[in-house]
Amino acid sequence: MHTVVERELEMRLVLSPERSVPVAARLGYRSDDPYAVHITFHIDSDQPVNWTFARELLVEGVFRPCGRGDVRVWPSKANGRSVVLIALSSPDGDALLEAPAAQVSAWLERTLRVVPPGSEGAQLGLDDGLAELLAR
């Protein structure tokens, strides 16, 4: 039996230091894919945009800058509120998204209760498979 932890929230797509636009997003986590988080953005297109990256990156990024390459996450302030900034890079372009830190943290805590950090391998049965391989 797999557990799904989802949360709808409004993020902001940062266009410039002075301008940002709201973007509907859904955070998703599945216990059968325990290392990953999924973010689906509903922007002005026929298909939603999906991103998948390490849950650990988002957990750490709430507290300190982390990540390099396609996904970078860091805490910040916007209009006196705590936010989490997520920078995404792809061949199609780059995006900087701002999410409310309290909502992201509350959702992450739910995912960490479902699959505590360090127990992800057990969720996948990796430990059993490895033990079986080593026993041969």
Q: How confident is the model at residue 81 (pLDDT cuts 50, 70, 90)?
A: very high
Q: What is the pLDDT of residue 23?
A: 93
CA distance 33 to 121: 10
C-beta separation of 127 from 121 below 8 A: yes
The H-or-E segment that residue 67 falls in is none
CA distance 115 to 91: 32
Q: How confident is the model at residue 36 (pLDDT cuts 50, 70, 90)?
A: very high
Q: Which residue has the tokens 């079986």?
A: 132
Q: What is the pLDDT of residue 127?
A: 61
CA distance 67 to 31: 23
Q: How confident is the model at residue 114 (pLDDT cuts 50, 70, 90)?
A: very high
Scored b (16 or more CB within 10 A) or e, 47-80 reads eebebebebebbbebbeeebbeeebbbbeeeeee
C-beta separation of 108 from 58 below 8 A: yes
Q: What is the mean pLDDT of residues 47-52?
A: 90
- Our CA angle for 54, 38, 71, nearest 5°, is 50
More confident residue, 96 or 45: 96
The pTM score is 0.86
- Least confident span in 35-39, 52-56, 103-107, 115-119: 115-119
Write down the mean pLDDT value for the chain: 90
**Amino acid at site 92:** D
- Least confident span in 5-19, 26-40, 42-56: 42-56
